[in-house]
Chains A and B, each alone.
Chain A
């Protein structure tokens, strides 16, 4: 039996003003898998994610999340879908005026009826998972770039979302922290059956975690398939990516 995709786009076109960034994107992302989106810097990976999650309204085309067409959905209905999705932004996007603890408490306080003791426990565990146990009282401006990213990941997984979207989670992290982050992502997939979409350039981490690869180039999908197939691919851009390891 073939699985239904949990996220799929058909003919998605994205523009900023007159500049067309994505032309006709068709992708399928399947539940319980880790899908890695690859592509050169500035090719539109972040744009693709933001258009799928409607942070930008797609110019045309359709997007289905959980089997539901979302581009025309009402705000409240779409919010219900969003509460099942966690997003780690490329630059963290922590709320600057709140401590790390309060940042992670936001989704827990807004979307659940959990009592403060339970919330506190969840936050401490999630911070510990991203190796930030000591940082809970600090303000975002007191963290390093990599620490901010990890704190933002803790916020993204606060609600154990069904879909986790990460925009370059390991950029700016040392190899050890990056590896432990991969470990965490694998665990989230295995234990919580999370569907995970990751934008990353780290070859090592792609080898460790990726089930599927989607390769974007010049606003189009150049390749979409399993990691093994990607490694064997004869498409020059992809071949050189896996040979050189970066662009």
Chain B
């Protein structure tokens, strides 16, 4: 670029390759006064070149373009942004407006969640007797998905957890010669806390995310709308089978996790603390009360329902495309684990305080 008599001569083509260098040169001549831009030497121009000319025209109070070939002129006409209407500026929102909005948003969310909760419970109870609006075999296939497929991971993790718990306490108990109390410890902790909690948290990660992402995908791809248009209630068709399957599976999974966890403890007791199998088992049955077992299994139902309801809730609120699905899936897992732990705390307050 060369500047002479207030005329700026462009001496190369104006394409994407040349523009970055040209923008740098522009800084050097920023102070000059330019009334005309000579494009005689420009043979090729593309949209980046036109954008550059627009930039020049804005910087230097609209100099005229001279000596353009007809082709360049036509390309310029197509790609010039100067004739476009100015983009609208977005209005900045007041701080208090924002607070109000978020409060309102929270209220709306809570309201929707409660409605959904009522809907799901209602249709689930109706669904026990009235099988209309269910897909055939869906409870079984969901149970396989939620329950059977999770057997391996839940079994393995509760076994390891049992081993760890027993091993950690064994070292302490042995110092006092209180070896046999490892059975008490394992029984109480697995039955009342570890079994239900571990199972629910694994299920929240495994099935909760699956529920949320499945429903969210159906939402963003208009599948739920399609169901509605076929006069099918999406909650009955999609959520209720999951709700039933979860309700069926969770007590079985919890019982299994608890037993395997205690088995882990038994192995430590035999190998490390020299307790006989019979003594350990007798002790376990002495310690466990009916109340402990009932509360442990009872609360796991609530955990299961929490998982289904939160997963479906976030699924139904998904919007946007694939990235919306990812977002609600993450949120649903975090929320389910949070509420499971809160519920667990409430449960302890009610029954053991």
Asked if residues A141 and B84 are in contact (CB atoms below 8 Å), the reply is no
Quick check: which of A13-21, A46-54, A125-133 contacts chain B, the rest being far away?
A125-133
**A219 within 8 A of partner (CB):** no
Question: Contacts A112-B48, A124-B87, A191-B74 given: A141-B81 contact, CB under 8 Å?
Answer: no
CA distance A141 to B75 in the complex (A): 32
Asked if residues B75 and A125 are in contact (CB atoms below 8 Å), the reply is no
Asked if residues B71 and A160 are in contact (CB atoms below 8 Å), the reply is no
Closest to B52 in A: A118
Q: Which residues of the partner chain B approach A160 to less than 8 Å between Cβ atoms?
A: 16, 46-48
Q: Which residues of the partner chain A approach B324 to less than 8 Å between Cβ atoms?
A: 96, 141
**B50 within 8 A of partner (CB):** yes
Question: Contacts A118-B23, A191-B71 given: A133-B55 contact, CB under 8 Å?
Answer: no
Asked if residues A96 and B321 are in contact (CB atoms below 8 Å), the reply is yes
Closest to A141 in B: B320
**B31 within 8 A of partner (CB):** no
Number of interface residues of B (CB under 8 A): 30
Within residues 84 to 124 of chain B, which ones have a CB less than 8 A from any CB in chain A?
A: 84-85, 87, 90
Asked if residues B87 and A122 are in contact (CB atoms below 8 Å), the reply is no
Asked if residues A121 and B16 are in contact (CB atoms below 8 Å), the reply is no
CB distance from B324 to the nearest CB of A (A): 7
Within 8 Å by CB of B321, from A128, A140, A159, A191, lies: A140
Within 8 Å by CB of A187, from B51, B78, B84, lies: B78
CA distance A128 to B90 in the complex (A): 19
**B178 within 8 A of partner (CB):** no
Q: Which residues of the partner chain B approach A121 to less than 8 Å between Cβ atoms?
A: 51, 54-55, 81
Q: Which residues of the partner chain B approach A192 to less than 8 Å between Cβ atoms?
A: 46, 75
Asked if residues B74 and A117 are in contact (CB atoms below 8 Å), the reply is no
Residue-wise interface mask of A (119-161) relative to B, using a CB-CB cutoff of 8 A (1 in contact, 0 not): 0011011101100010011011100000000000000000110
CA distance A140 to B84 in the complex (A): 22
CB distance from A89 to the nearest CB of B (A): 14
Question: Contacts A96-B321, A97-B323, A191-B71 given: A125-B50 contact, CB under 8 Å?
Answer: yes
**B317 within 8 A of partner (CB):** no
Residue-wise interface mask of B (70-83) relative to A, using a CB-CB cutoff of 8 A (1 in contact, 0 not): 01001100111100
Closest to B24 in A: A115
Residue-wise interface mask of B (298-319) relative to A, using a CB-CB cutoff of 8 A (1 in contact, 0 not): 0000000000000000000001
Within residues 33 to 53 of chain B, which ones have a CB less than 8 A from any CB in chain A?
A: 46-48, 50-52
Q: Which residues of the partner chain A approach B90 to less than 8 Å between Cβ atoms?
A: 137
Closest to B327 in A: A97
Closest to B319 in A: A141
Asked if residues B81 and A125 are in contact (CB atoms below 8 Å), the reply is yes
Asked if residues A117 and B16 are in contact (CB atoms below 8 Å), the reply is no
CB distance from B262 to the nearest CB of A (A): 47
Asked if residues A96 and B320 are in contact (CB atoms below 8 Å), the reply is yes
Asked if residues B87 and A136 are in contact (CB atoms below 8 Å), the reply is yes
**A80 within 8 A of partner (CB):** no
Question: Contacts A133-B84, A140-B321, A191-B75 given: A115-B20 contact, CB under 8 Å?
Answer: yes
Residues of B within 8 A of A (CB): 16, 19-20, 23, 46-48, 50-52, 54-55, 71, 74-75, 78-81, 84-85, 87, 90, 220, 319-324
Question: Which 4 pairs show the lowest CB-CB distances between chains A and B?
Answer: A96-B321, A97-B323, A121-B51, A113-B20
